[in-house]
Amino acid sequence: MKLHIVPARQGILWVKLGMRTFFRQPLALTGLFFIFMAVMSVISMVPIIGNVLALALLPGATLGLMVATQEALKGQFPMPSVLLAGFRAGREQLRAMLILGALYALGFVGVLGLSALADGGKFAQMYLFGGAVGSEVFQDPAFEAATMVALIFYMPLSLLFWFAPALVYWDKVSPMKSLFFSLVACIRNIGAFTVYSLVWMLAFMVIGLGVVLVAGLSGSEEAVALVLYPTAMVMAAMFFSSIYFTYADSFSIPSVHLA
């Protein structure tokens, strides 16, 4: 394992490679993302512990989508079992992946706890337990402040875990070291990640707006929703396909992984 420092413009290439690889196996990768979302949603429905359990499984499930991208890159058809790749790689890696999941869930709950300081726990309660929330809650300045606090403190958490599952799986790094290396890699390549994030935000905005405008010509709100949802699913699947390239380019030999 060796960290590569890449130029800021590399962020554009990561987006392009994610889209290009997605279109090698569009049905498979979209289907896998749908399964990923469906499983997380079903688990989240379990009373009390559902959302926490889904959070704990998220690092391993995200790794599964990265492995699926690698298979698509090789011209293979990724099967649903690939989503469990991180839990089937051996006892040590299974243990490491479970530790990462527990740490991620703990970290996320900690972020929600910090947000509770701003609104007394309304935002955290909505996320963990769901339920109907009136429009007056979203307009509450305290709730808005809690949302902002959660976003601010989630950023370092996401940097810690961005590469961690991949480092555990492909490089057999211990959980704590994977978190450290992930944070360092994201910071050292912050220019590329900034460009990467901005390009994806622009892509989601432009394509989303285009879909809404075209579907809106029918004059039917149902038609807009019918077209917008699958488009969002496809775009999200593309995004998750691009995550693999951020890892391959930051920790591996680009010519091997990005051919």
The verdict on residue 92 lying in a domain is yes
Number of structural domains in the chain:
1
Residue 204 falls inside a structural domain: yes
Segment 163-189 shows an average pLDDT of 94
Given this model, what pLDDT does residue 259 score?
44
Amino acid 218: pLDDT: 67
Query: What phi and psi, each to the nearest 5 degrees, are found at residue 196?
Result: -55, -45
**Sorting pLDDT into bands at 50, 70 and 90, what band is 223?**
low
> Could you tell me the two tokens for 179?
């978190």
First to last CA, the chain: 19
Structural domain contains residue 153: yes
The answer to whether residue 151 sits within a structural domain is yes
Which residues does 158 contact at the CB level (< 8 Å), separation at least 6? none
- Output the six-digit token pair for 177: 């070291």
Is residue 104 a part of any domain in this protein?
A: yes
Within-domain flag for 190: yes
51 belongs to a structural domain: yes
Grouping H, G, I as helix, E, B as strand and the rest as coil, residue 118 is helix
**pLDDT tens string 63-104:** 999 999 999 998 899 999 999 998 888 888 899 999 999 999
Q: Which of 83-87, 137-141, 227-231 has the highest mean pLDDT?
A: 83-87
* pLDDT > 70 fraction of the chain, expressed in percent and rounded: 90
Q: Which domain holds residue 176?
A: 10-257
- Cβ atoms within 10 Å of 229's Cβ, excluding its own: 11
Is there a domain that residue 58 lies in?
yes
